[in-house]
Structure 1
């Protein structure tokens, strides 16, 4: 009878322990979900529910292969936007519990609303699935996407007739481009390689993406670095002499929202301007921090040119201080002044 009593007592203790563990993880998960939309800022201390603290001897956070016991939003570990982490909770009974979590980190500075005025409209070839778009000396350089249709073209603003074009192999899906010095750099979607051309659009060489970059999306440059997006929240700065080398990267978020699927890029006057796939906005981004400092709402223009399918806003260039915008399969290029 005594043995049966001890076994039963142990079972009850084990069941109570399991119940407590489950309650603690649920408490942490529920709290995380409520904080996910509200978000944190760099320097904030993570707010852990009191019942979790009372139940724990130690708490650490894992970031992939890194781990920290400092429950603070430290930029050494966290980036702007969503952060996937794991809470490791050592209980007072010696067990280790783990809870996956997503922690949002937002910019401290409020993003300004930017307004615009349409100054002019130019024709655009509606067969062009626009992936990269730049203006130099009144000449448009455009990267046209889709497998079997991909090419690099250039034409005079106001005309739709290409003066030169470079046709891509049928397995290539062309993406972002940038004119850097006397070369044209072009990304591809999923083949993890890019192309470098001379200004006559003759292929000089290919380069491989660094492993950290999953896909090729948008591209620009700041006069020193190639700047690349890959469809995530990240923007990468590459060495133009060796485009396989990542020098640094930033993650993109405003004071209220993290942005992934960052697409076509343009650098102008100390800021990065970016399309977000399937959103009728252009973000103005601080290239030092990734903070969104301005948001340009273009719903009215998008409604005039898009059917709501894949013909999305995707093309930013600058004509002096005015912005040129277009999209995939759009029939028009808009010149706007941004206020």
Structure 2
């Protein structure tokens, strides 16, 4: 009888402990869900519920291949936007409880709503599935996508007749492109490589492999020093143009209220990165130092005149002097706008 009593008492103790573990994890989960939309800023302290703190001997956070006991939003540990983390709670009883969570980190400064005025319109070949778009003088350099239709071409702004057009093989899906001195760099979507052409003739000079961390090629621009690449995630990569397989640094992108991924066509101008967000009629102005969105241009009124489905979306940013020039996949128009 005594043995049965002891076993029963132990079972109740284990059950109580399991229930307490579950209660603590539920409390932590409720806290994390409540904070997810509100988000954090760099320097904020995670104000975990007191019940969780009292139950724990130690708490760490795992993010990627890193782990930290610092419950502060540290820019050396977290990045802007979504951070998929795991809380590791070592209880005073010696167990380790784990719970996954998403920590959103937003920019501190409010993003400016940027207005614009359309000052010119130009024809654009509606067959062109625009992936990369630059203007040099009055010459447009355009990278068009789709398997079997991918190409790099040039034409005069105001005309739709190509000056030079270089087609890619069937298996290539071309993506973003940019001018670097006397060369043009062009990405591919899922082929894990890019091309380098002579700017004057569009003769293919060489190819380069993507760094392992980059899964896909989306947008590409150049800041006068580094190539700047997007891959459809929240991350923007800075690459060495003399060795584009080398990542120099990265930033993640977020405004004061929202983290952004699916960053697509890119353009660098006057110290800012401008980025389309795929399937959204907006262009983000991004601080290249830290990834903070400092301005948002809403091109809904232009996009709705040109978009009828999921493919023909805004996807082209260039500059003609200080004026922004935009177009989209399969659009019949190019728009020159004054940014205010």
TM-score calculated relative to the size of structure 2 = 0.99
2:20 is aligned to 20
1:76 aligns with 2:68: no
Q: Distance in 1 between matches of 2:339 and 2:11?
A: 69
**Superposition pairs for residues 92-241 of structure 1, below 5 Å?**
92-199=92-199, 200-241=201-242
Q: Which residue of structure 2 lines up, in the alignment, with residue 55 of structure 1?
A: 55
2:289 corresponding residue in structure 1: 288
Distance 1:172 1:4 in 2: 72
The whole-number CA distance in structure 2 between the counterparts of 1:43 and 1:317 is: 36
CA offsets 1:211-233 (integer angstroms, 9 cap, x no match): 11110000000000000000000
What is the rounded CA distance, in whole Å, between the counterparts of 1:202 and 1:29 in structure 2?
A: 57
CA displacement at 1:66 relative to structure 2: 1.3
Unaligned 5+ segments in structure 2 are: none
Which residue of the partner structure matches residue 31 of structure 1?
Answer: 31
For this pair of structures, how many residues does the alignment match? 339
1:164 aligned counterpart, secondary structure: strand
Gaps of 5+ in 1: none
Query: Structure 1 runs of 4+ off > 6 angstroms?
Result: none
> Partner residue of 2:65?
65
TM-score (norm 1): 0.99
Helix, strand or coil at the partner of 2:334: strand
Q: 3-state DSSP class of the match of 2:43?
A: coil
The C-alpha deviation readout for 1:216-256, integer Å capped at 9, x for no partner, is 00000000000000000011100000000000011000001
Matches within 5 A, 1:186-335: 186-199=186-199, 200-335=201-336
Indicate the residue corresponding to 2:45 in structure 1. 45
> What is the Cα deviation at residue 308 of structure 1?
3.5
